[in-house]
């Protein structure tokens, strides 16, 4: 069980690295001048690769987390409300990640209507999700 937990943490950390960086690529895309086609294409390529690779990391993290839950359901769920809130935040992180992919597709279709400032604020959502999840798992306040 500890090996599964260790690898779950590794894959979650790697997935959140993608969650931190992908919105930053969106910020940079929003700042690219219309005449910088090479820079735009490079950022789009980076974003597509990161988004696809992040799906793999997310899948492994979810699989390992689900396996841990299945093996010790009573221990995790009977311990309090923290696990249910954590799972809701994980669903929120997945929705956020999918939304990042859709925003990347908007840039590919030249349909972005948001400013780089908007993306800078949006970029912070993943940090808040990560902090809340870590606090719930470590402190288990409820």
The reply to whether 86 sits in an annotated binding site is: yes
Q: Is 77 exposed, middle or buried (0-12, 13-18, 19+ CB in 10 A)?
A: middle
The reply to whether 8 sits in an annotated binding site is: yes
Distance CA 5, CA 23 (A): 27
Contacts of 71 (CB under 8 A, 6+ apart): 1, 4
Residue ranges at the known binding site for heme: 8, 86
Q: Which residues are annotated as a binding site?
A: 8, 86
């Amino acid at each position: 069980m500890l090996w599964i937990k260790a690898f779950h943490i590794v894959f979650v950390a790697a997935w959140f690295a993608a969650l931190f960086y992908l919105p930053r690529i969106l910020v940079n895309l929003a700042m690219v001048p219309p005449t910088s086609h090479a820079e735009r294409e490079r950022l789009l390529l980076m974003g597509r690769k990161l988004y696809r690779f992040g799906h793999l990391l997310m899948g492994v993290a979810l699989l390992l987390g689900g396996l841990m839950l299945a093996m010790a359901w009573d221990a995790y769920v009977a311990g309090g409300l923290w696990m249910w809130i954590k799972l809701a935040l994980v669903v929120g992180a997945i929705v956020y990640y999918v939304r990042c992919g859709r925003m990347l597709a908007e840039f590919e279709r030249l349909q972005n209507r948001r400013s780089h400032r908007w993306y800078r604020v949006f970029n912070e959502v993943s940090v808040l999700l990560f902090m809340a999840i870590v606090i719930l798992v470590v402190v288990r306040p409820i």
